[in-house]
Amino acid sequence: MPGISRKINGCAAATGALLLTLTGCAGTGPAAADVDLGPGPAVAGKVKKGALEGVTLTFASYGGIYQDGQEAAGVKPFAADSGARVLSDGPTDYTKLKAQVDAKNVTWDVVDTDSIWAEHQCDKRLMPLDTTVVDTSKLPKDMVGKCSVPAMTYGMVLMYDTSKFGDNPPKSWADFFDTAKFPGKRAVPGVPSDPSPGPLEAALIADEVAPDKLFPLDVDRALKKLSSVRSSLVFWDTGARSQQLLESGEVSMAMVWTGRAYSAVQNGAKFAPQWNQFMPIADSLAVPKGAKNPKAAMALINYYLGAGQQAKLSELTSYSPVNSDAEPKVDPAAAEYLTSTPERQAQALKLDNTWWAENQEQIVSKWSDWLAR
């Protein structure tokens, strides 16, 4: 959950910090075939002591508090245990990553990306996971792709104004669209170039489409339903703006990222979450095609996925862990917004990232045209 992460703070600047050294080139060191990670099956969170002496890797992510947390929880400890030098870069830039792969001059070894983008780029600009090195047994199965694993998880949740609806709170996305029973403005994400899970699914559920019949999404039907409440909608294009809408009281309900929701409440917003059919979201970790030492890169991913590493990441960033054995020590208020607990997972709406990866580009024009009306 992005409580104090890049999506809470709007952090997009790279940290620019080098973790262990200011020298060396990405992916240098022993050839992949020379890397000995030890006998036996891979175990998430473990690496053979000193196995990567002489290897240099570059970890790229989104900067800010989120990447700081990733480095402290997983990347720096991996470097200390494995003996690798690990450099930090960012923010993740898909154009830059494509250029590296296409030019066969890859300088990023492990990259944090959007999960839909990762799904779409599998076998194109991202290489398949090496499951002899990456242990995925403790991860949510529906978040593990052929070429990527979840880096953390959070969600899109319905927030409502408790001062207006405290005695009769909304219970579903259908209530979000019921402006007669629940009057007031509603906030929804509205980035023209980036349609993503959230508004379309909610609109279809409100239009009585069964949750298990959502995909393939009927985009025209969803936009028609959204149009029926268009005069009540307020669009946000950044996490900071969504949080501001809650804190200012400009809206009565909002569809927002869980971390932004948590931060708004911590800052005094009189809002509460309605968890029924919240939409789980995750960033992904992947290795670009053409990485110079893919086995070492996979070992970094495997280490990052450990229960202890994931717990620490949650404690530092408020994102939810993806390892089922992780037990982050967070205060009760933050714990309420963790999306990885069995209780929350039982309330989650099942999304289809494969469908989104295959269709997102085609949805852009319809979504952009609808927003511009």
The whole-number average pLDDT for the span 180-199 is 95
Confidence of residue 362 (pLDDT cuts 50, 70, 90): very high
Say what the pLDDT of residue 219 is.
98
Say what the pLDDT of residue 39 is.
86
The whole-number average pLDDT for the span 301-315 is 98
Say what the pLDDT of residue 28 is.
52
Among 77, 122, 135, 46, which residue's Cα sits nearest to residue 322?
Answer: 135
Say what the pLDDT of residue 25 is.
45
> Considering only 7-16, 59-68, 138-147, which range has the smallest mean pLDDT?
7-16
Fold: same for 6-153+282-335 and 156-281+361-372: yes
CATH class of 156-281+361-372: alpha beta
CA–CA gap between residue 301 and residue 323 (Å, rounded) = 13
Residue at token pair 């930090």:
88
Checking if the pLDDT of 111 tops 80, the result is yes
* Domain residue limits, the chain: 6-153+282-335, 156-281+361-372
Reported pTM: 0.86
Say what the pLDDT of residue 31 is.
54
Q: Does domain 6-153+282-335 have CATH number 3.40.190.10?
A: yes
CA–CA gap between residue 255 and residue 23 (Å, rounded) = 45
Say what the pLDDT of residue 29 is.
52
The whole-number average pLDDT for the span 176-201 is 96
The whole-number average pLDDT for the span 253-282 is 96
Say what the pLDDT of residue 35 is.
84
Confidence of residue 32 (pLDDT cuts 50, 70, 90): low
Structure tokens at 330: 């967070």
